[in-house]
Amino acid sequence: MTRDRPRRPPLGQNFLVDRGAAERVVEALGASVGAPVLEIGPGRGALTGALIARAGRICGVELDARLADALRQRFSEAQLVLVREDVLRVELAQAGPWLGWPPRTPLFVAGNLPYGISKPVARKLVDERECVARAVLMFQKEVADRLTAAPGQRAYAALTVLVSLTYEVLRLFDLPPTAFRPRPRVRSTVTRWMRRSPPPLDPSLEPRLLACLAASFGRRRQTLHNNLRAKLGSAAESARVLEAAGLDGSLRAECVPPDGFLALARAWPLAPSRPQVVPRGRSGPG
């Protein structure tokens, strides 16, 4: 006769069990009663209960059917508007009306993110920034390092640039594996996101920014000049773009601050001489 093993979470969740941490997250989010609050992945409801106690009624997006059923039994519809869906497929503009607010209402977003979707969620917050007022999110510590890295640090990457041009991201505190069940093998970091207003990144400039970030970080050990030459098709074109942006081509991408990439995007040709090639297995800059 074999002993039953504990069931592994089907979507890779590590559920928060530290009540003190949940209260700190809610305090950092700063949502008042009646504010439009969206929780990403309520899971077993540890953070959900604390959010409801503060805001009164919130919206939660949960993909797992069993967890969703348990949440419906624990919380009434007057407390929790539960949407069973993959948050990456949900337009944040829809969440306001679920709580009785107009479409595209800026939301207060909170969540203990499954590690597997943390970077896509970060990118989603960048893409749909008009619908986010503030967010407090838990990430694997290594991802938080990337999101908050400064130029010159090893973790600094294309995603760092995109996030920093749209939000001010602050590391609040770390959580040990004992704060979760099952216990992860890594530490987690709670971050607060405050949308920049107005954001330095003009949406009309965003396609060119994405193109130059992909080129600049394509080969991290190469200089800007070499990476841009490979992308733009000639050393002369690379030199022209770098000069127009006021950037030193001998630098590596990890040493260029976000405003330097904005300048590079403004100088970037509208129609690159070579089509952009996205490496297999990558959905965008990271």
Q: Hey, what domains does the chain have and what are their CATH numbers?
A: 15-195 (3.40.50.150), 203-267 (1.10.8.100)
Say how far residue 35 (Cα) sits from the centre of its chain: 21
**Which residues are CB-neighbours of 79 under 8 A, at least 6 positions away?**
52, 56, 57, 58
Q: Give me the percent of the chain exceeding a pLDDT of 70.
A: 90
Q: Which residue has the tokens 């000049």?
A: 225
Give the dihedral sign, CA 85/90/92/98: negative
The region, left, alpha or beta by phi > 0 then psi within -120 to 50, assigned to residue 17 is: alpha
Say how far residue 134 (Cα) sits from the centre of its chain: 12
pLDDT at 271: 60
Q: Which residues of the chain have pLDDT under 50?
A: 1-9, 272-285
Task: Give the separation between CA 166 and CA 130, rounded to whole angstroms.
Answer: 10
Q: How many CA atoms lie within 13 A of 16 on its CB side?
A: 30
pTM: 0.89
DSSP letters for the chain: -PPPPPPPPTT---EE--HHHHHHHHHHH-PPTT--EEEE--TTSHHHHHHHHHHSSEEEE---HHHHHHHHHHS-TTTEEEE-S-GGGS-GGGHHHHTTPPTTPPEEEEEE--GGGHHHHHHHHHHTGGGEEEEEEEEEHHHHHHHTPPTTSTT--HHHHHHHTTEEEEEEEEE-GGGEESPPSS-EEEEEEEE-SS-S--GGGHHHHHHHHHHHTSSTTS-HHHHHHHHHSSHHHHHHHHHHHT--TTS-GGGS-HHHHHHHHHHS-SS-SS---PPTT-SS--
**Which residues are CB-neighbours of 190 under 8 A, at least 6 positions away?**
21, 24, 25, 28, 136, 137, 138, 171, 172, 173, 174, 175
pLDDT at 199: 83
pLDDT at 12: 63
pLDDT at 279: 40
Burial (Cβ within 10 Å: 0-12, 13-18, ≥19) of residue 24: middle
pLDDT at 212: 96
For the chain, what is the mean pLDDT? 91
Nearest to 98 by CA among 31, 38, 32: 38
pLDDT at 275: 43
198 upstream amide cis, omega within 30 of 0? yes
Nearest to 182 by CA among 5, 10, 9, 45: 9
pLDDT at 198: 87
